[in-house]
């Protein structure tokens, strides 16, 4: 017992003394090694994989935290998620040694289920594009299920003038009759959600890791709050704006079902969000840590995935996302 305490103190001290860059590399699971260049005077940086990328066939350069593309998470502002929720994050090592889930031969399909209470249904134009993007993002088969009427089937409330449905109760309903080949089932609705009485609202909720999740698009509309139930006006909210927000929230909540926790290391699609401005500020992409986790379980080709994502955003007229992907691809394929 006497010898165990100093050892623990040394380890903790080493982590505390790490620079930010060193901590980020540690979280990704790679290390930087400086070597002599061809002239013997120049120095070059190389990166080694602590978990054997040579054996997995994944090039470690995909996970290098290039500051041109990935920004370390800054100090949260008042009202932001991390200002109100104490989270320790999740390194790649913690992920692969913890309770993660991945597809297999038996459970290989993701289901997207539209849910309706009294509000407008999710537009078909949005649902078809969400299905397409989920297939690209996760590299899996995605099926769009039949719309389900949920009014009177789950706990609900009026929060001021806004009708809300209990997200946890919705998950309980989705847990029933899960398709045999389902890796996960994600409900999507225009109804506002809440997770427990003391919370004002939640954008989405998922079991992590688990098979069910639900998310709402209600608060992404400019007319939210003008009536008790959501009404869609595509003149005020262009389809492209709805699509960006819907794709972010869908992939974030589905990510939880693979066992990915909120990211605290970089600006990342897996960051938690407390309000619309914070949600909008999240990137549409995964940081190197979260990308490595998802690739570990889904086994997708990262370059082809980036190409397919680029084409998707280009087809939908989203230049910011398209431009990021083109620059990223140029860097990785140079």
Domain boundaries, the chain: 81-333
For 277-313, write each residue's pLDDT tens digit: 999 999 999 999 999 999 999 999 999 999 999 999 9
- Quote the CA–CA distance of 82 and 272 in Å, as a whole number: 7
Per-residue model confidence (pLDDT) at position 55: 46
* Spatial strand order in the sheet of 192-194: 156-159, 162-166, 192-194
For 30-84, write each residue's pLDDT tens digit: 988 876 666 655 655 788 888 875 545 688 999 999 999 999 999 999 999 999 9
Place of tokens 């954008």: 203
**Coil, helix or strand at residue 113:** strand
For 73-100, write each residue's pLDDT tens digit: 999 999 999 999 999 999 999 999 998 8
- Quote the CA–CA distance of 179 and 9 in Å, as a whole number: 49
- Residues above pLDDT 90, as percent of the chain: 72
The answer to whether the CB of 109 falls within 8 A of the CB of 141 is yes
- Per-residue DSSP letter, 120: P
CA-nearest of 128, 91, 80, 12 to 296 is 91
Per DSSP (E only), the strands in the chain are: 30-36, 43-49, 109-116, 141-144, 148-149, 156-159, 162-166, 182-189, 192-194, 204-206, 212-216
Instruction: Name the CATH architecture for the domain at 81-333.
Output: 3-Layer(aba) Sandwich (3.40)
**Token pair in block for residue 109:** 């399909």
Whether 253 is catalytic is yes
For 103-121, write each residue's pLDDT tens digit: 999 999 999 999 999 998 9
The answer to whether the CB of 117 falls within 8 A of the CB of 165 is yes
- Per-residue DSSP letter, 266: B
The answer to whether the CB of 178 falls within 8 A of the CB of 211 is yes
pTM of the model: 0.88
- Quote the CA–CA distance of 287 and 267 in Å, as a whole number: 7
Average pLDDT over residues 188-204: 95
pLDDT at 8 over 50: no
- 4 or 306, which is more confident? 306
**Coil, helix or strand at residue 136:** helix
Please report how many Cα atoms fall inside a 13 Å half-sphere around the Cα of residue 55, on the Cβ side.
4
The gap between the terminal CA atoms of the chain, to the nearest Å, is 54
Question: Buried b / exposed e across 93-109, counting CB within 10 Å, b at 16+?
Answer: eebeeeebbbbeeebeb
Of the residues 68, 253, 315, 320, which is catalytic?
253
Which residues share a beta bridge with 45? 34
Per-residue model confidence (pLDDT) at position 67: 94
For 220-269, write each residue's pLDDT tens digit: 988 898 888 888 888 888 888 889 999 999 999 999 999 999 999 999 99
- Per-residue DSSP letter, 186: E
The answer to whether the CB of 151 falls within 8 A of the CB of 268 is no
């Amino acid at each position: 017992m006497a010898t165990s305490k100093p050892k623990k103190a040394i380890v903790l001290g080493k982590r505390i003394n790490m620079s930010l860059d060193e901590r980020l590399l540690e979280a990704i699971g790679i290390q930087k090694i400086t070597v002599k260049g061809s002239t013997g005077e120049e120095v070059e940086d190389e990166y080694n994989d602590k978990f054997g990328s040579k054996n997995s066939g994944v090039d470690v350069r995909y996970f290098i935290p290039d500051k041109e593309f990935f920004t370390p998470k800054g100090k949260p502002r008042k009202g932001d998620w991390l200002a109100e929720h104490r989270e320790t994050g999740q390194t790649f090592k913690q992920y692969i040694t913890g309770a993660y889930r991945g597809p297999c031969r038996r459970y290989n399909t993701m289901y997207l289920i539209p849910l309706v209470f009294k509000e407008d249904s999710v537009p078909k134009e949005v649902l078809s594009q969400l299905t397409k993007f989920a297939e690209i993002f996760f590299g899996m088969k995605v099926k769009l299920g039949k719309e389900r009427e949920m009014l009177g089937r789950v706990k609900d409330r009026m929060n001021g003038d806004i009708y809300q449905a209990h997200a946890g109760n919705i998950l309980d309903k989705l847990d029933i009759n899960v398709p045999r080949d389902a890796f996960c089932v994600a409900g999507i609705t225009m109804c506002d959600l809440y997770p427990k009485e003391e919370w004002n609202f939640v954008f989405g909720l998922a079991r992590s890791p688990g098979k069910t999740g639900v998310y709402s698009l209600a608060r992404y509309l400019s007319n939210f709050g003008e009536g008790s139930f959501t009404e869609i006006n595509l003149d005020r909210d262009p389809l492209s704006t709805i699509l960006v927000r819907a794709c972010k929230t869908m992939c974030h909540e589905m990510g939880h079902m693979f066992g990915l926790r909120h990211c605290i290391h970089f600006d990342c699609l897996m960051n938690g969000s407390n309000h619309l401005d914070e949600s909008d500020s999240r990137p549409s992409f995964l940081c190197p840590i979260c990308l490595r986790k998802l690739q570990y379980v889904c086994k997708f080709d990262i370059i082809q995935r980036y190409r397919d994502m680029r084409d998707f955003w280009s087809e939908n007229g989203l230049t910011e996302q398209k431009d990021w992907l083109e620059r990223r691809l140029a860097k990785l394929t140079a």
